[in-house]
Amino acid sequence: MTGRTTQPPVEPDPHSGRERRAVRLRRAAKLTSVVLPVCLIGWLSWQAVANSTRDVTSHPAVSPHYAEGDRVDADGPSDAAAPAGSPSAGAPAPSPSASAAGAANLPLAGRTVLLDPGHNTGNAKHTADINRKVDIGNSRKECDTTGTSTDAGYSEAEYTLDVVHRARQILQDRGATVVLTQDGDRPWGPCIDERARIGNEAKADAAVSIHADGAPASGSGFHVIMPAKVAAGPADTSAIVDPSHRLGVLLRDTFKAQTGEPTSTYIGQQGLDTRSDLGGLNLSKVPKVFIECGNMRNTGDAGRMSDPEWRQRAAQAVADALTSYLTG
């Protein structure tokens, strides 16, 4: 028989299972050290793209736009961080459509309008000043007068300044530069020759003098006064007669349509009158008309002119007529 060497029995190694687990953990750690950074880089890249997409879709660029009726600051929008003379940082250039919209909303941009509120509430306290005569070309006439009032005491001077303030706002909202002959900031006047001179020096594109009449109570309605041809001394209206007539017709038609006030029953023809004795017209070098908005001595006219809502319609009519004249 072949002989054998007998080996003693081998005891199980109590550490062999623990070692295998350690090896597996080391392998897993190596795998994690490679896979996790790759996954992290991919996730961060996805987030960057997603955030960029949200920024674009949630915050679209808005072109500057001024809605009709908004008032634009004379200096325009500003950006302290933008260099002088350059567009605001980050602001897109206006598109042609935005520029067209701006032009439509500001049809009177670059235009100058003179509004002349007739008389002054302080004139009655300065009779010596307003009674002195001034040269109106073809004659001499009082510097100014006190104006009239309703039977209830609402003065022409108060009425004219209120309507002028309302019309000024509308015209400024349309882009016009509006010059006033007085803004309730003078103790009296100004004289009629100075009123004309203010418009001339401003090189106004058009001028309207706002008044209310003090005729007999039986007469009612409004009328527009246009300059006659006068060439005498400092007066020469030859260049403004025709454009003033066009402005006058537009104002007559617009005022009648928007206020409901009928044309005068006691003066003029179909709401139009031509005069050569008004210094504010004779001395004007720019197209100019007067409007007598109604007869303050007539009960119906006085009631309408005392109503703020009606005065707003009157102001709207003046502004709309000037806009039609300057853009037509």
Return the closest-CA partner of residue 110 out of 327, 274, 314: 327
SS3 135: strand
- Cα 164 to its chain centre, rounded Å, is 15
How far is residue 236's CA from residue 256's CA, in Å, rounded to a whole number? 30
**Can you point out the beta strands (E) in the chain?**
112-117, 133-135, 140-142, 177-180, 206-213, 223-227, 231-232, 235-236, 272-275, 288-295
Please indicate whether residue 194 is annotated as part of the active site: no
**308-327 vs 241-259: helix crossing angle, rounded to 10:** 140
Cα-based angle 303, 319, 205 (whole degrees, multiple of 5): 135
CA 159 vs CA 37, 188, 285, 306: distances in Å = 81, 16, 26, 8
Question: Which residue is catalytic, options 156, 158, 261, 292?
Answer: 292
Phi, psi (5° rounding) for residue 309? -65, -40
- Determine the residue type at 138: N
**Is cis: bond before 243, omega within 30 of 0?**
no
Which residues does 241 contact at the CB level (< 8 Å), separation at least 6?
226, 227, 228, 229
How far is residue 144's CA from residue 120's CA, in Å, rounded to a whole number? 9
SS3 90: coil
Q: Which residue shows structure tokens 């929008």?
A: 77
- How many residues are there in the chain? 328
Catalytic residue set: 292
